[in-house]
Structure 1
């Protein structure tokens, strides 16, 4: 049995009775079930091909801004959640905001974009960008977080709901501990892992500590935490947007691409183009009344 979870674009309620009636006519459909009014619903189907079911559902949607996540119904509830930070749990790239302090935001952002698309290797690209930050005072971090960083809608509810139901949550970022520390605490993660910016007397040296946390380290974090918690692969969930998230997304029981670069969106199990991060709760079968709102 597969389940296709449909989630409306952030702030909208598009999954009504008329749409559910049309979905119920898809070959193999067994039943539909609302999850949160007309915001989200499930379609259960006797089908073996998740991609085929997703295509059938999208054909019915006719381009409506509704995200679709298809997976085996029996293993949808997850016990371990790993998330990327920049452009996933928050709306910005922290290294780009640091570069703005020295007037290099556009230059650094262009390198960041290429790295996230997988056009250049993450680690040398990170070293190149960090070198440009030499001389920036670490004291600006608090100001950046306060004035320039926005949390992605639904992120805190996602983490807090999963933790309230016994899941373990980890923020794993190619960014920096000076950001992941306070941001992970604000959102509510159990732990955070990221890179360490080297500084002397509170001034950045333009260097990052070894080893760099990148694509392999994110994958290693998932495997390590899964083993420590004695979980099966299908009990894990991961979300990210960039090429350095691909290995982690591929190893997770359910890997979700969030507003992702094309190569990431096409490789992930599912993608979120419209909905906020509460979609990952609906995908696990949580109803609106079960969500722990901030």
Structure 2
């Protein structure tokens, strides 16, 4: 959902969660996917809206007119609106586009508050792509950024694109990485609040990246992530060799990490949340209970349950029903 115009309905088919939410058919009778969808749609739902500014009464009223019957304030900029039946996704998306809001729609039976958060780093927890910043220092910024864009859109194989871009950095001093860390990287709005709040509520938080350990380790420390995973740049002496050490962490590895954490923590996937922006985040977004696309490429947005395009990462707390007064700044 790179823009609100590309917002898609939730990617999780109704039939995937029906077993947990609905009684099984008895005897030879079969329940069709359309029957399940109709029954799920008639269950109580919650629409969470998040604004970049304080919400006004007319703005809330516009959403309740879609069929909402009660409003619960989460903060000055966010609210839950309850519906007897699921609101029409396209109608909500259109209204959210007009107001510049982010939103999520939940079945009331969903596990709302998550116990595990896994997040991508580049263009998600931070506002930049570290590899592009390194390439800029090496004088090949435009070329590398073009490959990055295509890879994140899913147009190129991630590993091949990573190797191609890193090869352009051969001979770059390792001190360039320190320069990027010190001078070029900024946290996305709400990043620290999201992680601190999740940690305080007993959730495990993990930063995963197809980027590099030298950056990911420091960003994980700054935000308070409990664990991190990343790729390693090969270094000879005090310079980059232009190669990435194997194995390469990409789309499948990100999903594998989430699945291992679920098993180790004794959780269900419904209790997990994943945040990302690019095609290599698809695996973990699809595997999680709440997959959130953050200012994402269209292919990623289409696979997610919700998107954050207009506000900050703190919106992921509101999506879980957590009130602003409970946030840890």
Q: CA deviation digits over 1:151-170, x for unaligned, max 9?
A: 00101100000000000000
- Structure 2 counterpart of 1:43: 81
Q: Unaligned stretches of 5+ in structure 2?
A: 1-43
1:285 to 321, 324, 329: 321
**C-alpha displacement at 1:59, in angstroms?**
4.2
- Structure 2 counterpart of 1:64: 99
- Structure 2 counterpart of 1:18: 58
Q: Unaligned stretches of 5+ in structure 1?
A: none
Q: CA deviation digits over 1:135-182, x for unaligned, max 9?
A: 111122222111100100101100000000000000010000000000
- CA radius of gyration, larger in: 2
Q: Does 1:30 align with 2:73?
A: no
Q: Does 1:54 align with 2:82?
A: no
Assess if the C-alpha contact under 8 Å between 2:96 and 2:103 holds in 1: no
Distance 2:295 2:47 in 1: 19
Distance 1:8 1:265 in 2: 19
How well do the aligned residues superpose, as a CA RMSD in angstroms?
Answer: 1.3
Q: Which one is further off, 140-149 or 56-65?
A: 56-65
- For residue 88 of structure 1, give the secondary structure of its aligned residue in structure 2: helix
Q: How does 1:1-294 map to 2 (within 5 A)?
A: 1-9=44-52, 12-13=53-54, 15-27=55-67, 29-37=68-76, 39-48=77-86, 52-61=87-96, 63-74=98-109, 75-293=111-329
**C-alpha displacement at 1:201, in angstroms?**
1.2
Q: CA deviation digits over 1:237-265, x for unaligned, max 9?
A: 00100000111101100001110111111
- CA 1:130–1:61 in structure 2 vs 1: closer, same or farther (change >3 Å)? closer
- For residue 99 of structure 2, give the secondary structure of its aligned residue in structure 1: coil
Q: CA deviation digits over 1:211-261, x for unaligned, max 9?
A: 100000000011011111110111000010000011110110000111011
TM-score, normalized by length of structure 1? Answer: 0.93
Distance 2:255 2:219 in 1: 21
TM-score, normalized by length of structure 2? Answer: 0.84
Distance 2:227 2:265 in 1: 14
Q: How many residues align?
A: 285
**C-alpha displacement at 1:122, in angstroms?**
0.3
